[in-house]
Amino acid sequence: MAQARRLSLLAGLFELRALIALAALIAVLGLLSDSFLTVPNLITMAGHIAVNGVIALGMLLVILKGGIDLSVGSVAGLSGVVAGELLEGLDLRFVDVIAYPPVWGVIVLCVAVGMLVGLVNGVLVTRFEVAPFIATLGMLYVARGLALLISGGSTYTDLDGSPELGNTGFGLLGDERPLGLPTSIWIMIALAVVVMLVLTRTPFGRWLYAAGGNERAAELSGVPIRRVKTVVYVISGACAALAGLIIASGLTVAVPQAGETYELNAIAAVILGGAALSGGRGTVPGTLVGAVVIGLLAYGLTILYVSVFWQILIKGAVVILVVMLDQGRQRLRRHRAAVSAMVADVRAG
């Protein structure tokens, strides 16, 4: 009985690990920096963290199915580059015309590019049965290579557009603050609500949890496994492309290297937020809390003047630690179930 209570307490701490980490980070950063807990700083920081949240929401769907998407950071970089190319004028040499699509058209096209990369990921995983890790790792390099080829390795700096060409307003995604909050926060909130409704109120959400929990059983129950797998990668690509647009808009420049290591942030946020790498378990609120923790960690390292190289190393270590915690939680659940069964047998007999 005592062992069962200890296991229950330990399991509860595992479930609350993201909130515990969040409270600890806030306390430490509040002590280290006088400006950390000021409203302007919190709003600015939340605007940056929202980018991680947008990518993490797409990653959540992939991980719920038991997959992984390593290409999201590169897709974000590719999306920004495509936006820069379109805003500076798309040279259609075969008709001797330079096209300047409106900003809404740029956004739609960039998101479509992200969805196309996600579709390729989905087809590789479902039709050609390539392991998700390998398929998306390959697309990580493909998308980054495309970004470098399109830009020639250069940076796009003229993203403001021109009133005469009718393509101004790109800065709305990153610079504007409707109702006092950065646009990126509103985008993340809207996306979180949509994803939460999809997961809890639609057949697709039920299919996703069922397929992630036990794919064979779900398939026998009529769940369209291939369609579910493909759709989650398409959504993940769209979220990554949207994040890339926010990054380019906020920086007012588009660089092909943008989004590097964002895939690590997204994976860490989702797992830290309570999702299981094996699939079938995870929530939107948990993922957002995980994204905030990862964002605060990066902020803390910055205010402590930790070099970027060490930050990358530490982020990698955090990902490993988070995965180890997930595996520990799974072992604990199995052990707890065994102890509960033993206790039930003792009581019955």
Stated as kind and residue range, the H or E segment containing 275 is none
CB 109 within 8 A of CB 86: yes
Q: Which of 213-222, 300-309, 340-349 has the highest mean pLDDT?
A: 213-222
Pick the more confident residue, 330 or 59: 59
Query: Is 318 a residue whose pLDDT tops 90?
Result: no
Could you give the count of Cα atoms lying within 13 Å of 188 in the half-sphere of its Cβ? 27
Query: Distance of alpha carbon 246 from its chain centroid, rounded?
Result: 13
Q: Which residues contact 227 (CB under 8 A, 6 or more apart)?
A: none
Q: What is the pLDDT of residues 257-298, one digit of tens each?
A: 999 889 989 998 998 888 988 889 999 999 999 999 999 888
pLDDT, the chain, mean: 89
Cα angle 329-233-272, degrees, rounded to a multiple of 5: 25
pTM for the predicted model, two decimal places: 0.89
Query: Is 192 a residue whose pLDDT tops 80?
Result: yes
Fill in the amino acid letter for 270. Answer: V
Mean pLDDT of 233-255: 94
Length in residues, the chain: 349
pLDDT given for residue 245 in this prediction: 96
Number of other CB atoms surrounding residue 159 within 10 Å? 24
CB 8 within 8 A of CB 255: no
pLDDT tier for residue 6 given thresholds of 50, 70 and 90: low
pLDDT tier for residue 13 given thresholds of 50, 70 and 90: low
Could you give the count of Cα atoms lying within 13 Å of 226 in the half-sphere of its Cβ? 7
